[in-house]
């Protein structure tokens, strides 16, 4: 649906109002002219009726003074067309006949006075000139209202355009909280709106600054112990270890990788600019995520089915895709004890389906909210919230369906 600008809305409103007023004025003018003409003929007939009543009272013949008025002593004496209509509608006083004839009638105590006003009609004769005049008046009203609306729209919307330019400039320089153009705005509703926007912008800028500083500090503080522990694990590998200890070292290394990826993902979510998407092969990352989540499958009788073609790929950063897979597959592996887990990709839709216990009915509606988790969950309830935020960032549609027989999660990636 096309968007109509405020200027065009003002122009249409003024023009439409002018057209409506002009049409209403023209209609009222015509009605007034016809009504005045009819009242004039009625006045003439009433004056003749007064004279005719005097003549009837004196027993003299009724002789109208005006040549276009005639006296008819009875209903049957009236012209045929008028007499028949008057029989059906006795209160009617105006009649239109064939060949453009027009009559006005007034009853007397005895008989009727009938005026043939066909030649005396003024409005009908000048009706064409009246329509021409009203049409010219309508056009003049449209032109005047359009000019007035255009001038008023420019005058009213000028400070709004100035405010838009100020906000656009602020959007290009988000760190600049000094809106220099705001002083040029008038001290009216637009000026007060600009001041409110500036105050809100300052609060948002302060909040964003605190969040960015917090993210940088946390990232720095987390990277240092992660680097230290990674070095310690590398040194530990060069010592004599048992098979069980090697297995524990491998689990520690996988956990280190997940921590590093989580830190990068959190930093990614905190940044305004996102990394450029690249065509990422899907199957290798799914296999890599399965290996990272392998400890959650230990001791379980599960059938893992993967239906993903080797050449399938999606347009997304590989680190982001791996975080999505780790959270979805991790939940499926964690809460499925027996049965199967299906991972499929068809028509740009990734589906992860399990036969686990399902999501608690009490939290199904808001399972993507941060901090929401089931009673049996050992986590902090941020996994699916992180999935939602990443999907929103990368324009991925997400849908979850869960009951006591299992859970199905679908991610619809944008068409490549």
Q: What sign has the CA pseudo-torsion 247, 252, 255, 257?
A: negative
Average pLDDT value for residue range 12-28 = 87
Average pLDDT value for residue range 74-103 = 86
Q: Which two tokens stand for residue 105?
A: 């009638």
- The predicted-structure confidence for 203-226, as pLDDT tens digits, reads as follows 877 777 777 777 767 766 777 777
pLDDT at 350 over 90: yes
pLDDT at 192 over 80: no
pLDDT category at 34 given cuts 50, 70, 90 is confident
d(Cα 35, Cα 43) in Å, to the nearest integer? 12
pLDDT category at 386 given cuts 50, 70, 90 is confident
Nearest residue to 342 (alpha-carbon basis) of 351, 334, 333: 351
| Contact call for residues 292 and 252 (beta carbons, < 8 A) | no
> Which own/partner pairs from 279-282 qualify as long-range (CB within 8 Å, at least 24 positions apart)?
279/313, 279/314, 279/315, 279/416, 280/313, 280/314, 280/315, 280/316, 280/317, 280/318, 280/321, 281/311, 281/312, 281/313, 282/308, 282/312, 282/313, 282/314, 282/321, 282/345, 282/350
CA angle 17, 22, 23 (to 5 degrees): 100
pLDDT for 76 equals 85
| Contact call for residues 387 and 327 (beta carbons, < 8 A) | yes
Percent of the chain with pLDDT over 70: 86
d(Cα 308, Cα 167) in Å, to the nearest integer? 47
pLDDT at 185 over 70: no
- Would you call 62 helix, strand, or coil by DSSP? coil
- The predicted-structure confidence for 270-317, as pLDDT tens digits, reads as follows 665 566 678 899 999 999 888 888 878 888 888 999 999 999 999 988
């Amino acid at each position: 649906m096309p968007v109509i600008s405020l200027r065009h809305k003002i122009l249409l409103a003024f023009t439409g109002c002018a057209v409506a007023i002009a049409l209403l004025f023209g209609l009222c003018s015509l009605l007034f002219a016809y009504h005045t003409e009819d009242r004039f003929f009625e006045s003439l007939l009433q004056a003749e009726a007064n004279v005719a009543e005097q003549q009837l009272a004196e027993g003299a013949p009724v002789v109208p003074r005006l040549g276009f008025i005639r006296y008819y002593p009875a209903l049957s004496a009236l012209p045929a067309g008028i007499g028949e209509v008057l029989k059906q509608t006795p209160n009617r006083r105006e009649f239109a006949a064939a060949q453009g004839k027009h009559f006005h009638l007034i009853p007397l105590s005895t008989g009727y006075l009938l005026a043939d006003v066909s030649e005396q009609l003024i409005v009908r004769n000048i009706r064409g000139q009246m329509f021409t005049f009203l049409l010219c008046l309508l056009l003049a009203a449209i032109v005047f209202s359009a000019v007035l609306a255009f001038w008023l729209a420019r005058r009213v919307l000028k400070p709004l355009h100035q405010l838009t330019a100020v906000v656009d400039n602020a959007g290009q320089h988000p760190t600049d909280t000094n809106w220099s153009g705001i002083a040029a705005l008038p001290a009216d509703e637009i000026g007060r709106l600009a001041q409110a926007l500036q105050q809100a912008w300052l609060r948002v800028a302060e909040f964003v600054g605190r969040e960015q500083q917090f993210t940088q500090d946390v990232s720095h503080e987390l990277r240092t112990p992660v680097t230290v522990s990674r070095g310690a694990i590398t040194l530990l590998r060069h010592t004599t270890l048992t098979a069980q200890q090697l297995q524990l070292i491998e689990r520690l290394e996988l956990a280190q990788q997940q921590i590093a990826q989580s830190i990068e993902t959190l930093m990614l979510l905190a940044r305004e600019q996102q990394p450029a998407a690249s065509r990422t092969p899907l199957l290798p990352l799914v296999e890599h995520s399965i290996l990272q989540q392998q400890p959650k499958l230990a001791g379980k009788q599960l059938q893992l089915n993967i239906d993903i073609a080797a050449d399938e790929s999606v347009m997304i950063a590989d680190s982001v895709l791996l975080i999505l897979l780790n959270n979805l597959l991790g939940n499926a592996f964690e809460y499925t004890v027996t049965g199967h887990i299906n991972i499929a990709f068809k028509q740009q839709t990734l589906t992860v389906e399990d036969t686990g216990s399902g999501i608690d009915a009490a939290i199904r509606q808001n399972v993507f909210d941060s901090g929401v988790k089931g009673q049996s969950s050992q986590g902090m309830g941020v996994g699916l919230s992180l999935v939602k935020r990443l999907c929103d960032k990368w324009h991925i549609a997400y849908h979850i369906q869960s009951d006591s027989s299992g859970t199905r999660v679908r991610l619809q990636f944008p068409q490549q």
